[in-house]
Structure 1
Amino acid sequence: MNSDRQISAWLRGLLTVAYADGHFDPEEQELIASLTQDELIPHTDLGELETITPQELAETLGDSLSIKEDFLRTAVMMAISNGVYSQSEADIIHEFQTALGLDLEALKSLEATLWHPEEEKTGKAKHPDVLKPVKNWLDGMDVKDARVARFLCKMIPSQCPFERDITLFGKKIVHIPPMCELNPLYEQMVGLRFRSLSYLADDCKEDVTPYI
């Protein structure tokens, strides 16, 4: 990506995905704010960013196939960061994919993992082979933009977040497992983070200590 306009559209696309399920968590707000103000377009405040239509996103990102696919990869990562892929998130990503003129088998396989609360209650699990196409697709992201590399290093945690219990009035009400157990694509995200760090250190000669 060469222009602040493309970067802004990219972030607005991620913001649209974050809003898709009706919940814009404080962690997501903090992430996008830090990326906006510290790394990508430092003179733009988060409050100035708005959601974006698929058509506007497509027009702004342009004709580069790699830019369009890399946007969708990061959009998928935003969607599955909490370990589940909801129908509302899948719908907006499908709209983005259509507007960008792409038809990716990987996203079709990802839709097979859509979160259905009724299945969670019965303990039904998805077969791991279902995710092989999207794993290969995420592994295919080649980082060649320093701003995107910094974005990925901030977006993806440096280690598997610890599991924890949520308590209320001294009583445990819910147990949250480690992200690496909750998110079936966590290994792909970690691999992408490593490639981003390597690009910044080896190609850009940057000090990557802040991201470690």
Structure 2
Amino acid sequence: MADIPAVSSTISYSDGQITAWLRGLLTIAWADGDFDPEEQQLITRLTKDELVPHEELGELTVISAEELKAALGEDEVTRENFLRTAVMMAIADGVYSVVEADKIKEFGKVLGVNMSALHSLEATLYDPATCTKEQPQEDVHIDALRPMRHWLDDMDVDDPRVARFLCKMIPPQCPFERDIKLFGKKVVHIPPMCKLNPLYDQLVGLRFRSLSYLADDCGEDISEFI
């Protein structure tokens, strides 16, 4: 029996918008000059398949704030949703660096997005120029991040490519803690992401909304994301 094609809703974003969106995320990932293998692997996965299938990682370049503004268009929700995904990528490892924050604020200012929710996140900033080790984010009082949590929770998922992007970007479960070893000796211990990242619940909630949108509104098989 032939497979029944999935019912898909109308694509909200053009290829040009999605490509600019991805270039914006790359610009933030490269901001600190430390584009590690895990980030490269993530971006490579996101450039394949349905997101921007005609683009390769090596063909994508950084993007200026003005160029990003022109490519995303005038819709305020589109601009704000880009900034939300930018913040999520920056905090995915639990460390929100000064250079990432500066680039996000630059994008937000040019895009005309209300940045007030980001002020609370700046309490978690890590500046390697002035700190010998990252600030333990569990010390940040949870109420201080309430505006940031509400801002992320307010993101609507209404485009199947963006929904798939979020399902790939956000892990399905809290990653296991692990030790990084060099020549057989432990050099650093990485705790579980859910302990490291005070906004992990918001990321998980957004992933769930993306899965629900793909299954309920688009009629897609979401088994590959579970």
Pair in the same fold by TM > 0.5: yes
Give the corresponding residue for 2:224.
210
Seen in structure 2, the aligned counterparts of structure 1 residues 156 and 87 have a Cα distance that, compared at 3 Å, is same
CA distance in 1, matches of 2:123, 2:186: 32
Amino acid at match of 1:187: D
CA distance in 1, matches of 2:136, 2:71: 43
CA distance in 2, matches of 1:152, 1:122: 27
Give the corresponding residue for 2:56.
45
Any idea what the Cα deviations from partners look like across 1:40-62, whole Å, max 9, x if unmatched? 11011111100000000001101
TM-superposed CA distance for 1:67, in Å, is 0.5
1:16 to 2:30 alignment = no
TM-superposed CA distance for 1:121, in Å, is 7.3
1:196 to 2:207 alignment = no
CA distance in 2, matches of 1:149, 1:122: 32
| Equivalent runs, 1:60-209 vs 2, <5 Å | 60-116=71-127, 118=131, 120=133, 125-209=139-223
- Give the number of the structure with larger relative contact order, counting CA–CA contacts within 8 Å between residues 6 or more apart: 2
Q: CA RMSD in A?
A: 1.6
TM-superposed CA distance for 1:120, in Å, is 4.8
Moved over 4 A (4+): 119-124
CA distance in 2, matches of 1:123, 1:152: 26
Q: TM-score, normalised by structure 1?
A: 0.95
Amino acid at match of 1:76: V
TM-superposed CA distance for 1:18, in Å, is 0.2
Amino acid at match of 1:211: F
TM-superposed CA distance for 1:170, in Å, is 2.4
Q: Give 3-state SS (helix, strand or coil) of 1:38's partner.
A: coil
TM-superposed CA distance for 1:168, in Å, is 2.2
Structure 1 alignment gaps of length 5 or more: none
CA distance in 2, matches of 1:119, 1:103: 32
Q: TM-score, normalised by structure 2?
A: 0.89
Give the corresponding residue for 1:2.
13
Structure 2 alignment gaps of length 5 or more: 1-11
Q: Give 3-state SS (helix, strand or coil) of 1:159's partner.
A: coil
Amino acid at match of 1:4: D
50-59 vs 100-109, which moves further: 100-109
Q: Give 3-state SS (helix, strand or coil) of 2:181's partner.
A: strand
TM-superposed CA distance for 1:112, in Å, is 2.2
